[in-house]
Amino acid sequence: MTLSRALLHPAAKPVLFVLGLLPFAWLFYGALADRLGANPAEYLSRSTGDWTLRFLCLTLAVTPLRVVAGLPTLARFRRMLGLFTYFYVVLHFLAYSWFDQGFDLGEIGKDIAKRPFILVGFAGFVLLTPLAATSFNRAVKALGAKRWQALHKLVYAIAPLGILHFFWMRAAKNNFGEVAVYAAILAVLLGWRVREFLRKRQARPSPGTRRPSAG
C-alpha cells in the first residue's frame, strides 16, 4: 500500500486521534499514580506547554510536506492537528489557573498584566481560540472562504508568541536548548510560506500586463 493510499484509509484519522490523546492519557495516569516527579504541578504545566508547541509545529508542517512530498491527502489531517494544539493549550492554561492561582480570576488577571511571559502566552491562547471555534465546515460557509482564510492566518502571529512565551519560561533556568530547536523548526516552516508567497506574487502578472492572445 502506498503512503498516499494509507493516508486515505478510513482508519487513518482514528489512529491519529488516538495518537494525539496518548500524551494526555500518560499525564492523566501519571497524576493518578503519582509518577510526575517531586513537583507534579510544574510537570503538568511544562508538559502541556511542550505538547502545545509540538502540535503547533505538526499543524504548520502539513502544508509544506503536502507540497514538497506531493501528498495532497495530508491536508485532511491539518484540522485535527490544529484542534489538538488548542486542546493542549487549554490544558496548559488550566494547569496554570489551577495550580498557580487556584482558579482565582482576580489573581489570574493581575498575574497576566504583571508578568510579560504570562501575557504573551495568554495572548497566543486568545488568538488561537477563534481558530479552533471556526475549524468546522459550517464556520467556513458562514464566514466565506476568503474571510476564513484571513482569520486563520493568525497562526503566523501565534507561533512567534508561543516561542517567546517558551523562551521567557526557560530563561529563568538558562535552558535554551529546546527553545532553539522549536524556534528553528517554526522559522523553517514560516520561512517556507514566505518564500512561496513571494514566488507566487512574482509569478502573478501585473495589472497592466496583457496576456498574449491564443491566435
The parent domain of residue 70 ranges over 3-201
Residue 22 within a domain: yes
pLDDT digits (tens, 9 = 90+) for 166-195: 999 887 777 788 899 999 999 999 999 989
Q: Write the CA distances from 48 to 88, 95, 139, integer angstroms.
A: 6, 8, 27
Residue 212 within a domain: no
Cβ atoms of 85 and 52 closer than 8 Å? yes
Report the distance separating Cα 103 and Cα 126, nearest Å. 18
17: Cβ–Cβ under 8 A, 6 or more apart, which residues?
Answer: 80
The CB density around residue 133, as the number of other CB atoms within 10 Å, is 11
Number of domains the chain is built from = 1
Residue 47 within a domain: yes
Residue 32 within a domain: yes
Q: What pLDDT was estimated at residue 176?
A: 83
Residue 182 within a domain: yes
Who has greater pLDDT, 3 or 65?
A: 65
Residue 135 within a domain: yes
Q: Write the CA distances from 173 to 10, 32, 61, 112, 180, integer angstroms.
A: 45, 28, 29, 21, 15
Residue 93 within a domain: yes
Residue 207 within a domain: no
pTM to 2 decimals?
0.90
